[in-house]
Structure 1
Amino acid sequence: MNRPRLDDRLADLEADGYLIDASQEDANQLYLSGFTGPDPFLTLYADGEVHVLVSGLEYGRATAEATADTVERHADYGYEYGGREARNDMYAEFVRDKGVDSVSMPPRGPVGTADALRDRGIDVAVDTDDRLREVRAVKTDEEIDAIREAQRANEAAMRAAEELIAGADVAGEDAEVGDAEPGVLLHEGEPLTSERVAEEIEVTLLRHGCALDETIVAGGAQAADPHDRGSGPLRANEAIIVDIFPRSKATKYNADMTRTFCVGEPSEALREWYELTGRALDAALDAVEPGATGEDVHAAACEVYEEAGEPTFRTDPETETGFIHSTGHGIGLDVHESPRLANGGEALEPGHVITVEPGLYDPEVGGVRIEDLVVVTEDGHENLTDYPIRFAAE
């Protein structure tokens, strides 16, 4: 955690402290406390110190793991099991015990906790700007190394997926393999499905200390929907989008990468789209530097597509085909966080880790997306992705 940056961003809040009531699933909570508590717990930041309040069940682990100045348990305030009002009394006592009479809470903090503290005489304001999210956007060297490590696992998973796709046979006109139709990819005599490739990805990630709840392996018309996870048999001569966004089980930091593959002969339109998307990626990467805005990077990708006559949201906000999403997003403890590479995107700073992922989509053609992961540096950017860009799966 970058405490000087945190102090700077919270300095103008008219509150004595910053309070979070959430579990580790809330990235702000994980960032501030450093503790992987599965149940909601309190973290208070006041006078440059982090204070954590957990149940007795989690106390031992919290004292060992939390990056906090103090760790206390419910029993320290005469509570362990009781009703809601007694729990809220404990929360108020914990806050006041740190010399705090007013707190700011993130915009997604529990209303019940905020109201309970107000009822007990503690002023609560909502941090509508979500300043902690802004603090998290700029990564320390340690955080960048954690993302880099997750990306190495990501690349191993992408390699496993590509090899599975590249090694597939193609069902011919006289195919008699189950329900396989001509053109369907076959693995060990069975149709190769999106689910089978996703399984290979997940198993590989587990072996590299990472996991993910879901991934994208979408071919043909499914690839024309950027967030279609993909299902069923994959086919030759169609684009197959593989988008993997794993999370390290140890550090909790995410990575993200997309490649598009094809087995066989893609259509002329798909070939043109792939070449165009590679150019859009290069143009967007060239625009990544400190002081440039997320909108600048997005515009660089859009211009490549627009000059080729392809629609984008920038020129046609109602288009359902073409480049129909932003150029990228920040990544860290959340797989989607600040900054945004889109219209209105903010200025880039050294330490921002962002994805750059242009793409084109049309159900009549399919979909193509290529995504790299980069960190903004003092004089430009460093690409954290070390995986080849190629259409023909190898």
Structure 2
Amino acid sequence: MEFTADLSALIDVLDSDDVDGYLIDDDSTDSDQRYVSGFTAPDAYQTLVTPDGGVHLLVSGLEYGRATAESNADSVTRRASYDYQGLAVEHGPHEGKIRMLETFLDDHDVASVSVPRSFPTGTADGLRDRDVSVTVEPESIVEGIRATKTDWEIDQIEATQRANEAAMATAEALIASADVEDGVLVHDGEVLTSERVTEEIEITLLRNGCQLDETIVACGADGADPHDRGSGPLEANELIVIDIFPRDKETGYFGDMTRTFARGDPGEEARRRYEVTERAYEAALEAVEPGVTGAEVHDVACDVIEEAGYETLRSDPSTDTGFIHGTGHGVGLDIHEQPTVSPGGGELEPGHVLTIEPGIYDPAVGGVRIEDLVVVTEGGSENLTEYPVALEPAAR
């Protein structure tokens, strides 16, 4: 990671709570761990933040060289420095780890730690048994810090979004160039399926340095469930929802975008729902600026959809059709993080990166969703997405 996290807010909490340090015990799939340490490893390692702002890593010998070269830490220590193997043989792996951590903390004059809510219970209880005070934080301090992106982070997210757009163009071109036979899309003599489009999306992303665990290519009634991945043949005259949320393999930052297409005529009602969704999306984008809350932006989208005669969870909390999710969410090292653009969403600040993604859903008609990725700026917002919005697919 090419920047050093500003942990001043965490240091302030340590000071106010009179705690000696903040300890993370996880692998780098935990985004807080990756963010604070500036390091990635597949096995758990420990990161300690001390009140002077120091960041100290405890890693295996296997990871020591990389951690020394790549991390943002002020110090990196091998487990072997505390004879972990000997402790594990004498006391067992778990107790050996606890005794090693106890000594590591003592070396940094730490007798009390605050830990994230995801901290392993076994590690916490083991440290307490060794007279180390362990307090679980009531709120995720590091996640709150991560919500405000640096210029470097915004550049990485934007780069991932460019790869995302290349993948969307691949998917759209497949749909646009397909033949129609008996109401089904056919490409190069084979039925065009959700799985085939997903495969081509993934190949494009790999060629652009990104990875994708899952994506959504959902046709017809499948698209009426916002998280249905979609399967089977893609049909003409039906709405097709494509939601791609890749992660850059090197930096770890996500992108996120959704477009809805229809090859042929999906019908008057489907077209109307698309137009209403697009108006809600544009109104919500316009509302994003510093000082407004995520809840207020969500209300703007709901206003447009409700005025057009469709239900939202605001107008009917029990509805299973209409606008049945929030308007957006933060994006960064996690695909869903702070802030939230939904009921209860707090104040937006410069540096927040978030999605705007209203939708209207009904199995009888299909689903519509349009999603862009934006950053809150000092004067309003900037759309990080450059991909066109259009119901009719085209080769781009």
- Please give the range of the TM-score, normalised by the shorter of the 2 chains: over 0.9
- The match for 1:123 among 119, 133, 137 is 133
Say whether residues 1:147 and 2:152 are aligned partners.
no
Q: What is the aligned partner in structure 1 of residue 196 from structure 2?
A: 196
Q: Distance in 1 between matches of 2:251 and 2:300?
A: 33
Report % sequence identity.
Answer: 61
Q: Which letter maps to 1:13?
A: D
Q: What is the aligned partner in structure 2 of residue 44 from structure 1?
A: 48
Check the 8 A contact 2:260/2:370 in 1, yes or no.
yes
- The match for 1:72 among 54, 61, 77 is 77
Say whether residues 1:3 and 2:7 are aligned partners.
yes
Check the 8 A contact 2:205/2:246 in 1, yes or no.
yes
SS of residue paired to 2:36: helix
Q: Which runs of 5+ in 1 are unaligned?
A: 172-181
| Per-residue Cα deviation, 1:27-81 (whole angstroms, up to 9, x for no partner) | 0100011111101110000020100001111111111111111111101111136
Change (3 A) 1:303 1:7: same
Say whether residues 1:291 and 2:295 are aligned partners.
no
Q: Which letter maps to 2:355?
A: T
Which region of structure 1 is more displaced relative to structure 2, 204-213 or 4-13? 4-13
Q: Distance in 2 between matches of 1:306 and 1:55?
A: 56
- The match for 1:137 among 147, 159, 167 is 147
Alignment of 1:160-309 (within 5 A): 160-171=170-181, 182-309=182-309
What is the CA RMSD across the aligned residues, in angstroms?
A: 1.0
How much does 1:286 deviate?
A: 1.1
SS of residue paired to 2:16: coil
Q: Distance in 1 between matches of 2:163 and 2:135?
A: 41
How much does 1:11 deviate?
A: 4.3
Check the 8 A contact 1:356/1:373 in 2, yes or no.
yes
Q: What is the aligned partner in structure 1 of residue 393 from structure 2?
A: 393
With normalisation by structure 1, the TM-score equals 0.96
Q: What is the aligned partner in structure 2 of residue 176 from structure 1?
A: none
Q: Which runs of 5+ in 2 are unaligned?
A: none
| Per-residue Cα deviation, 1:135-184 (whole angstroms, up to 9, x for no partner) | 1101011111110110110010101110011111111xxxxxxxxxx211
Q: What is the aligned partner in structure 1 of residue 329 from structure 2?
A: 329
SS of residue paired to 1:80: helix
Alignment of 1:77-116 (within 5 A): 77-80=82-85, 82=88, 83=92, 84-116=94-126
Alignment of 1:23-42 (within 5 A): 23-42=27-46
Say whether residues 1:21 and 2:22 are aligned partners.
no
**Corresponding residue pairs, total:** 384
Check the 8 A contact 1:151/1:255 in 2, yes or no.
yes
Q: Which letter maps to 1:224?
A: A
With normalisation by structure 2, the TM-score equals 0.95
Q: Which letter maps to 1:37?
A: A
Check the 8 A contact 2:14/2:20 in 1, yes or no.
no
- The match for 2:58 among 53, 56, 60 is 53
Check the 8 A contact 1:55/1:80 in 2, yes or no.
no
Q: Which letter maps to 2:226?
A: P
Change (3 A) 1:232 1:13: farther
Q: Distance in 2 between matches of 1:351 and 1:312?
A: 29
Check the 8 A contact 1:56/1:80 in 2, yes or no.
no
Q: Distance in 2 between matches of 1:345 and 1:357?
A: 15
Q: Distance in 1 between matches of 2:304 and 2:291?
A: 22
How much does 1:14 deviate?
A: 3.6
Q: What is the aligned partner in structure 2 of residue 365 from structure 1?
A: 365
SS of residue paired to 1:134: helix
Q: Distance in 2 between matches of 1:14 and 1:240?
A: 55
